[in-house]
C-alpha cells in the first residue's frame, strides 16, 4: 500500500478540486504524502544531491566510521554476543543547517546550493499552508501567522542533512528510532535508490517508497494541534541497511519558540473554546520543545498532557 503521490501542479488547473481533496486525504488519513511537479527546479535537486553526497564523503564519512558513538557501541555489542539490540542510539550521520549555524566549509558550492534550495522549499511550505488553511476552512494565512508568532518573530526553518551509512548488523540498531515530529510542516528530499523510511498506519509499518524528484511531506505535532486533530502527526522510522548509503534531507517549518499553539477557533466547538479540556491544550511552543527533547521517542499524547499541566499552573 504506497503512500499518496500527488501532482502539485494540478492545483492551478481544472483538477484543482481533486488535488485539494488528495492533499486533505494525505493530511487526514496518512500524515504523509509525496509531491511531484512541485515547482522546485530539477537541476537544483541534482545539485543538492551532489553537494550533500560530496559533503558526506569529504567531511563526514571517515569520522563516522572511525570515531562515532553508534559505531563504537555496535562494535562493543557485537563483541559481547548477547543477542541484544541498541535501543537508545541511531545509525545516522546528521548535521543541522539554519541561518544562524556554521555551515560545512570544504565542499565547493555547498552553501550557495543549499541556501537556494532552502529558499525554494520554504516557498513550497508556505503554499502548502495556504492549501491546508483552505481545506480546514480557516482564514487564509492562519497557519503561517500562528507559526510565526507575535511581535515580529519569525518561524524557525531548519534543514537536517542525514546520511544512513551501510550497517554490518542492521538487525542490531535502528537507522532512526520511531518518533513523531515536534514541529509544523516537514519537507523531505529522500534518496531515490536506498529505501528505509517507514510510517505506521493502521498498526502496520509501510514503506515510503522512493519516487524520483518528489518531496515527501509530513505534518508534525503542531499541525495536529492547530487542526484540532483532523491532520495527523504519525510515527515514522528509518531502518538501518546492510548495503547502500541513504541520503535524507529534511526541512522543518516550525513555530517560533514564543508562538502560542492551540486548535484554531473555527475548529473547536463554541462551548469548548476557552479551555479545550476535552481535546488539545493551548501552550507556548518553547514549553512543548522542552518536553519533546526529553520524550522524542515516546508517544506524543503525554507530551500534550505535560504542556497542559505547565500552562494550567496559577
Cα-Cα-Cα-Cα torsion 102, 107, 112, 113, nearest 10 degrees, comes to -120
Instruction: Read off the CATH number of the domain in which 182 is found.
Output: 2.60.120.330
Residue 285 neighbours by CB distance under 10 Å: 28
**Residue 313 confidence (pLDDT):** 57
Q: Does the pLDDT at position 269 exceed 80?
A: no
In a domain, 314, yes or no: no
Contact 199, 260 (CB under 8 A): no
**Residue 94 confidence (pLDDT):** 96
Give me the number of domains the chain comprises. Answer: 1
Q: Does the pLDDT at position 152 exceed 80?
A: no
**pLDDT tens digits, one per residue of 30-75:** 999 999 999 999 999 999 999 999 999 999 999 999 999 999 999 9
Q: What are phi and psi of 259, to 5 degrees?
A: -65, 140
Q: Does the pLDDT at position 116 exceed 60?
A: yes
In a domain, 288, yes or no: no
Contact 6, 22 (CB under 8 A): yes
In a domain, 307, yes or no: no
Contact 211, 273 (CB under 8 A): no
More confident residue, 81 or 191: 191
In a domain, 18, yes or no: yes
In a domain, 89, yes or no: yes
In sequence order, what are the beta bridge partners of 207? 198
In a domain, 300, yes or no: no
Residues 6+ apart with CB under 8 A from 79: none
C-alpha cell at 187: 519537507
**Residue 9 confidence (pLDDT):** 97
Contact 260, 282 (CB under 8 A): yes
Rounded CA-CA distance 227/280 in Å is: 10
In a domain, 44, yes or no: yes
Domain that holds residue 114: 5-270
In a domain, 185, yes or no: yes
CA distance readout (Å), 35 to 47, 131, 215, 253, 286: 19, 13, 5, 17, 30
Amino acid at each position: 500500500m504506497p503512500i499518496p503521490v500527488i501532482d502539485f501542479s494540478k492545483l492551478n488547473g481544472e483538477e484543482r478540486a481533486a488535488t485539494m481533496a488528495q492533499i486533505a486525504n494525505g493530511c487526514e488519513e496518512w500524515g504523509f504524502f509525496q509531491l511531484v511537479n512541485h515547482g522546485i527546479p530539477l537541476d537544483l535537486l541534482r545539485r543538492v544531491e551532489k553537494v550533500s553526497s560530496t559533503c558526506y564523503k569529504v567531511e563526514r564519512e571517515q569520522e563516522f566510521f572511525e570515531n562515532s558513538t553508534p559505531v563504537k557501541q555496535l562494535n562493543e555489542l557485537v563483541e559481547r554476543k548477547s543477542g541484544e539490540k541498541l535501543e537508545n542510539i541511531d545509525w545516522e550521520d546528521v548535521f543541522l543547517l539554519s541561518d544562524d549555524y556554521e555551515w560545512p566549509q570544504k565542499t565547493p558550492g555547498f552553501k550557495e546550493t543549499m541556501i537556494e534550495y532552502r529558499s525554494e522549499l520554504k516557498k513550497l511550505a508556505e503554499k502548502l499552508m495556504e492549501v491546508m488553511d483552505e481545506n480546514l476552512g480557516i482564514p487564509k494565512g492562519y497557519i503561517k501567522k500562528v507559526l510565526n508568532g507575535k511581535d515580529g518573530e519569525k518561524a524557525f526553518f531548519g534543514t537536517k542533512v542525514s546520511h544512513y551509512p551501510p550497517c554490518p548488523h542492521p538487525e542490531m540498531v535502528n537507522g532512526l528510532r520511531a518518533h513523531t515530529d515536534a514541529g509544523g510542516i516537514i519537507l523531505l528530499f529522500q534518496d531515490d535508490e536506498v529505501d528505509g523510511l517507514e510510517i505506521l498506519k493502521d498498526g502496520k509499518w509501510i514503506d515510503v517508497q522512493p519516487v524520483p524528484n518528489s518531496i515527501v511531506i509530513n505534518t508534525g505535532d503542531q499541525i495536529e494541534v492547530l487542526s484540532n486533530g483532523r491532520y495527523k502527526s504519525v510515527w515514522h522510522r528509518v531502518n538501518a541497511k546492510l548495503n547502500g548509503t541513504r541520503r535524507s534531507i529534511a526541512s522543518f517549518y516550525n513555530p517560533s519558540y514564543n508562538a502560542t499553539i492551540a486548535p484554531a477557533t473555527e475548529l473547536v466547538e463554541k462551548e469548548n473554546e476557552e479551555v479545550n479540556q476535552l481535546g488539545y491544550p493551548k501552550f507556548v511552543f518553547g514549553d512543548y520543545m522542552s518536553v519533546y527533547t526529553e520524550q522524542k521517542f515516546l508517544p506524543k499524547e503525554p507530551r500534550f498532557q505535560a504542556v497542559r499541566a505547565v500552562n494550567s499552573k496559577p
